[in-house]
Amino acid sequence: DAGITQSPRHKVTETGTPVTLRCHQTENHRYMYWYRQDPGHGLRLIHYSYGVKDTDKGEVSDGYSVSRSKTEDFLLTLESATSSQTSVYFCAISEGRTGELFFGEGSRLTVL
Amino acid sequence: GIQVEQSPPDLILQEGANSTLRCNFSDSVNNLQWFHQNPWGQLINLFYIPSGTKQNGRLSATTVATERYSLLYISSSQTTDSGVYFCAVGDSSYKLIFGSGTRLLVRP
């Protein structure tokens, strides 16, 4: 199994509070991704990283920011959480630009 | 962008039956992957198969890139095969586009 750890795994927060989700990998893969999964929308890419300090937006990036200061860690931040950001968030990694994608176990976020 | 369509949306099988899941895509791709999401929500990579055929135990997959489709075969299905199967495709970018999935229920 790919060594990907997401934290926290479950979080309940209130509208307007900041939230940070962490993804930690032990595979030394260059590429890291944050997806969200919602009923009726499937899996959608939020942000991705192609190296330390190199990040770019995905298809649903509004309201989210990311940072990658080390190869092994990719952080997703919701500056001011909204109820529409209630979702299951998955981190993923790949070795190459078009390589196999491996997912973490997911983080369930509820924004009240 | 690339469109991905999976069929059927839902499938119910009796244990031991075989099935074929289909993924159609609208443009040339250089990345195609199949995933299984189990009932506990874990996403497992099954195949990386932008072209050709691969087999892994009771599962196999074939991608015909020139005709823009991929097939996932499940033989002798087991209850543990239940879940949602996703196809995801990508072009020259980093971004994979996921289909809406096929929900499979295998009954004992």
Instruction: Summarize pLDDT for B5-62 with one digit per residue, the tens.
Output: 999 999 999 999 999 999 999 998 889 999 999 999 999 999 999 999 999 999 999 9
- How far does B22 lie from chain A, in Å, by closest CA? 17
Q: In terms of CA atoms, which chain B residue is nearest residue A96?
A: B94
Chain-chain contact of A105 with B41 (C-beta, under 8 angstroms)? yes
Stretch A64-91: mean pLDDT, rounded? 97
Chain-chain contact of A100 with B45 (C-beta, under 8 angstroms)? yes
- Select the residue of A97, A100, A103 nearest B94 (Cβ to Cβ): A97
Chain-chain contact of B96 with A31 (C-beta, under 8 angstroms)? no
Q: Could you give the CA distance from residue B101 to residue B7 in angstroms, rounded to a whole number?
A: 8
Position A96 pLDDT exceeds 90: no
Question: Given this model, what pLDDT does residue B95 score?
Answer: 79
Q: In terms of CA atoms, which chain A residue is nearest residue B85?
A: A42
Contact B16, B31 (CB under 8 A): no
Position A85 pLDDT exceeds 70: yes
Stretch A68-92: mean pLDDT, rounded? 97
Which residue type sits at B85?
Y
Residues of B in contact with A50 (CB under 8 A): 94
Q: Which of A74, A39, A40, A45 is nearest to A61 (CA)?
A: A45
- Select the residue of A42, A56, A88 nearest B98 (Cβ to Cβ): A42
Position B4 pLDDT exceeds 90: yes
- How far does B34 lie from chain A, in Å, by closest CA? 10
Residues of B in contact with A105 (CB under 8 A): 41-42
Q: In terms of CA atoms, which chain B residue is nearest residue A46?
A: B95
Question: Given this model, what pLDDT does residue B93 score?
Answer: 60
Lowest mean pLDDT segment, chosen from A49-63, A91-105, B42-56, B66-80: A91-105
Angle at A99 between CA A22 and CA A25, to 5 degrees: 25
